[in-house]
Amino acid sequence: MSEKASAGSGDIDIKCIGVIGAGQMGSGIAHVCALAGYDVRLSDVGEEQLERALETIARNMDRQIGHGRISEADKSVALARITTSTDFAKFADCDMVIESATENEEIKREILKSLCPHLKPEAIICSNTSSISITRLAAVTDRPERFMGMHFMNPVPVMKLVELIRGIATEEPTFQAIRDLAAKLGKTSATSEDFPAFIVNRILLPMINEAVYTLYEGVGSVDSIDTAMKLGANHPMGPLELADFIGLDTCLAVMHVLYDGLADSKYRPCPLLVKYVEAGWLVRKAGRGFYDYSGDTPVPTR
């Protein structure tokens, strides 16, 4: 599959997409791009992370097969489209690259600076950041006019939304090209201005932070808070369960972006959230957050 998309100085035929970061989000982005017919170059710092990502992608495709959404043949063809590397030089033939590293601005800036010399001049760069200024990230590249935010939701193969965010220098052809790409990936786009945390996390993370405050102040237990929001507000997951799913370090990082960027005390991260992150209770690494996942059934930690 290929899409003619005007970007910058001329037309660009998007056939090959690079993805930086093979974690939960990056592997999901690689998954949907490969299924949509694009060649994918998936990169991370180590071979172990890349092998784990390929296993995750295959496992998630098996779930889709089980639900009748794709066939075994679809899976085989898609997996064959994904190649992995620890070297940015492998992105030389990419028509666009999606950065999906950890939600840390300095790390992203260093990645983007290292990436640019390996790209062809017409290649587009997108960041999957969930909160960081697109304009600031674009400024460290050699192509701010071909840079924008493309924020996928987690889990990427399941969630239909992609937030599209223009930086101050993003040109209209770049935006149109990425909006067309999102549609080809089977996603619905919501356009956000370049404000801290954009739309989804500007609304979602303060709700989660308030749930942590509700726990911190002893208003309710973990189980009571999550049960109340699932049954009282018809949320599919309770806010503390959702925080664990997102990753408490990511939740804290977004709250810091909101607090620092908007200078409003209502975005102050709850001290209990800070304490959990300082303890290393990040769920993904420790198997523990607001719930302990070491047994067969998650158990509230408070």
Q: Which residues are catalytic?
A: 130, 151, 163, 201
Task: Return the exposure string of 274-288: e unless at least 16 CB atoms fall within 10 Å of the residue's CB, then b.
Answer: bebbeeebbbbeeeb
Helix (H) / strand (E) containing 30:
helix 24-35
Task: Return the exposure string of 23-57: e unless at least 16 CB atoms fall within 10 Å of the residue's CB, then b.
Answer: bbbbbbbbbbbbbbebbbbbbbeeeebbeebbebb
Report whether the peptide linkage leading into residue 155 is cis, meaning its omega lies within 30 degrees of zero: yes
Helix 239-246 vs helix 200-216: crossing angle, to nearest 10: 120
Name 292's bridge partners: 288, 299
Q: Rounded to whole angstroms, how far apart are CA atoms 128 and 191?
A: 14
Contact 170, 147 (CB under 8 A): yes
